[in-house]
Structure 1
Amino acid sequence: MIRYFLLLLLPIFLSASLTFSVNHNKEVALLESFDIEPSFIYDPIMNKMRNKKTSIHKDKHFFKAMDDAYTFIPAIKRILTEHNVPAEFLYLAMAESNFSTRAYSKKRASGLWQFMPKTGKRYGLKIDEYVDERRDLIKSTEAAAKYLTHLHKRFGKWYLAAIAYNCGGGRLSKAIKRAKSDELSILLNPRKKYIPRESRFYIRKIIALAMVGQDEEFLMNSEYEHLLNRANAYSISTIKLPSGESLRRVSKIVGIPLSELKKLNRHLKYDFVPPYSKTYDVYIPYVKLSEFKKKYHPEPIQNIYKIHVVRSGDNLSTIGRRYGVSYRVIMDFNKLKHSRLRLKQKLIIPIDSRKKLKRVNTRHYYMVKKGDTLESISKAYRVSIASLKNQNHLKSSLIRVGDRLKVNE
């Protein structure tokens, strides 16, 4: 009887053993892609992080982030692979920003890969009045791939490139010199503190996230099974739009909600592409590409936006305040070389031509100029910084030229 019972259980034991073996092999391969020894599988701190992520009742952030990013995850993997960076570095972006192109740190790092302005510009990302390409999910990933390639060439191992991405190449070089070794187990020594505590946890977090992300058995037995196929079924396409084209117009032409289009194009600071380029890259879901090619045709910008006829007493600042647009933007759209205006001159104002303008009391609004900070505005108008943030729904103290702020007390 016992023998018969054991024969019934044998397939279950074999299946469990096979599943364990497959998962173990995948985990070893994952570590190898980072040049990490297989024994790191048993690192207690990394496993604690991993178990937290796989506990649905404790933490759903991982799965929500994966779900929100399903559209562009394939594009990130493709770009990394094209630059010979392991695709698993996808999870470095997750560790940095939780896959949010809007992520912004107190140190002024921004975007999926949390580039500082100086580093972003060094790797070809444009940051100006109209765009912040650190938030461009394609261009920032290309820049990150180049940066990681540089770090790998400098340090020779991918886990060192990841650590250097976090704490800086100079600091890691000093740590390796102090430790007289670049072995991960030595650099992670909590007593010696060769690298900062944040960096010791950072590399573990990336590995833990990657292990959860590739755990097919767990995903198949959870409410997140759709993530296995979704990330492969969806992707984005790059389209080139002419100078000043409106995102709102594109969203209507191809039937994409404006909010979805903006989500894919967080690098645009306004709802239009920069007026200074003949064409500029914008992203749409791949499934909409055919429809875009069939239906889209360029339209002169004066047919898209409002036209303002200059009257007596007008100047660029008052016109800008009236429409809620920076005077600099008005100058660029109209290719003005100076701020002097003439009566009955027609100016293109980049707001929806069909939008009715709400008249506001401009005494209670302030247009942000170059050099302004929330502190300087609060002092000038005798309004607390907390009040300014509350009135204007600001989550941080970040403001930009052309922003229109309520300044009521």
Structure 2
Amino acid sequence: MGQNYIYKLRLDSITKTVPLPYNEYVQQYIDIYAKRKDLFGKMMGLSNYYFPIFDKALKDFNIPQEIKYLTIVESQMNPHAISRVGATGIWQFMFGTGKAYGLKMDNFVDERKDPIQASYAAAQYFKDAYEELGDWLLAIAAYNCGKGAVTRAMAKAESRDFWAIRQFLPKETRNYVPAFIAAVYVMNYSGKHQISPQACSLFLKTDTVQTNRFVSLASLAKALNVDETALFALNPSYKKKIVNGTDEEPKRIIMPKLRDIDYASVYEVLNNSEQDVSMRVVQASTDDVRDLRKSRAKSASSHAVVFHKVSAGQSLAMVANKYGVEVQDLRVWNGLKSKTIVPGQQLKIFAKNVNRLKAPVSYASYTVKAGDTLSEIAEKFNGVTVQSIKRDNKLSKAGLRAGMILKISKG
């Protein structure tokens, strides 16, 4: 009892805005995390680079700073983390939710892996979740299982208290909130558990530039005289290791703080737009495993198929670019275990998945049902985001009422 009381006092001492109650579920995760000394030592090192990024995004949306510790539970602060169902990046956004909150995913970039962009999307999500649910622990639970699932659990329990509705939530979510509280505890009381911070592998002092050209990160690393992997780690969202900046949409490059001797060679790389790569941007299709299973079955049964004969020198990426599809789709459709293809090989391509320009359409209407949330509605419509729904309907908050008719921009 004495030891438990100490844990409670420690949690009370670091509680700010988000409640950090002590109970048996929290203790279970404290016991687990306190044994992972190497992992949490690494998290403490990485926090020196990532926490200032998270803090700024959360502060800009007036979200409690404690929310940043969720990245430990979600991804162990790994921008390349991918879950078994396709959640991606430090904040583990699913494809549909990421798109609904304005993150771009195409053949060049996956902004779910961009610590800055994804942090702002997460902050916007928490702003909406708190407006709808009115409790930070419920908002955290919603981040794991969705606002709709939390709303339904609240209705079953007839309560707005996480611990009261916990039994009605998915199993993973029941443990998610205690794991978050334990992560906050261990990061703040690491010394009490003989956990020492490890050195951060990322450059802590950086410069940021915006470019309207295509820039090779490998060439830039050479000009900076740094290891390629170090520069890739600062810019994890660029799939091809190419920053695809344009006049219409400049892109950000983060690099180690420049020294005087770097400027001339860096300037040359930043202003050399001759890259041996197609500049065509192809929107990514979903990588949500659940959606892929459904679409695979649907495509196979009802859509026309195009067959492509591989020519000498063609790569899978070249074929994907020609038809406006993703490499991962080609591999799924053709049962390919690798990206290697050979001349004369026949590749199956589903015609519906070829991206074509669409004529602008004005608005569709959507009648809000009980339990609907803005992010869930946005995911139902292609190209629609939470922000566009709020803008088109002049909604100041994320709360909805059953029966409301929303304008949905389809242009």
User: Normalising by structure 1, what TM-score?
Assistant: 0.65
Q: 1:170 aligns with which of 126, 148, 158?
A: 148
Structural mapping, 1:7-406, within 5 Å: 27-36=11-20, 40-41=21-22, 43-55=23-35, 60-68=38-46, 70-188=48-166, 193-215=167-189, 217-218=191-192, 221-222=194-195, 224-225=196-197, 234=204, 236-274=206-244, 276=246, 279-285=250-256, 287-288=257-258, 296-297=266-267, 298-302=270-274, 305=276, 318=311, 321=314, 326=318, 371-374=329-332, 376-378=333-335, 388=337, 392=338, 403-404=339-340
Distance 1:217 1:65 in 2: 14
What amino acid maps onto 2:18 in structure 1?
A: F
Sort the Cα spacing of 1:299 and 1:32 in 2 relative to 1 into closer, same or farther, 3 A.
closer
How far residue 226 of structure 1 moved from its aligned partner, in angstroms, is 5.4
Q: Partner amino acid for 1:149?
A: K
- Count of residue pairs brought into register by the alignment: 308
Q: 1:24 to 1:217 in 2, by over 3 A?
A: farther
Secondary structure at the counterpart of residue 330 of structure 2: coil
Give SS of 2:168's match.
coil
Q: Secondary structure at the match of 2:236?
A: coil
**What is the Cα deviation at residue 29 of structure 1?**
4.7
**Aligned-pair distance for 1:25?**
5.7
Q: TM-score under structure 2 normalisation?
A: 0.64
Q: Rate the CA distance shift 1:279–1:184 in 2: closer, same or farther, 3 A.
A: closer
| Gapped regions of structure 2 (runs ≥ 5) | 279-309, 346-411
Deviation at 1:161, TM superposition (A): 0.6
Taking CA–CA contacts closer than 8 Å with sequence separation of 6 or more, which of the two structures ends up with the larger relative contact order?
A: 2
Three-state SS of the structure 2 residue aligned to 1:206 is helix
Asked whether the 8 Å contact 2:30–2:186 carries over to 1, the reply is yes
Write the letter of the residue equivalent to 2:272: P
Distance in structure 2 (CA, Å) of the matches to 1:231 and 1:85:
28
What SS does the corresponding residue of 2:251 show, helix, strand or coil? strand
- In structure 2, the CA distance between the partners of 1:257 and 1:179, relative to structure 1 (3 Å rule), is same
Q: CA deviation at 1:108?
A: 2.1
Structure 1 residues 290 and 49 mapped into 2: Cα distance closer, same or farther (>3 Å)? farther
Which residue identity lines up with residue 155 of structure 1 in the other structure? L
How has the CA–CA distance of structure 1 residues 260 and 373 changed in structure 2, closer, same or farther, with 3 Å as cutoff? same
Structure 1 position 184, deviation (Å):
2.7
Which one has the largest radius of gyration? 1
SS at match of 2:68: helix
Give the 3 Å change call, closer, same or farther, for CA 175–291 of structure 1 in structure 2.
farther
**Does structure 1 retain, via aligned residues, the 8 Å contact 2:58–2:64?**
yes
8 A Cα contact 2:41 2:198, kept in partner: no
Report the alpha carbon displacement of residue 301 of structure 1 after superposing the two structures with TM: 2.7
Distance 1:330 1:175, change over 3 A: closer
The answer to whether the Cα contact below 8 Å between 1:72 and 1:236 also exists between their aligned partners in 2 is no
Segments of structure 1 that go 5 or more residues without pairing to the other structure are 1-16, 308-316, 333-366, 379-384, 393-402
Structure 1 residues 99 and 153: CA distance shift in structure 2, 3 A = same
User: What letter matches 2:171 in structure 1?
Assistant: R
Letter aligned with residue 87 of structure 1: Q
Residue 174 to residue 151, structure 1, CA distance change in 2 (3 Å):
same
Q: CA deviation at 1:250?
A: 1.1
2-structure distance, mates of 1:95, 1:140: 16
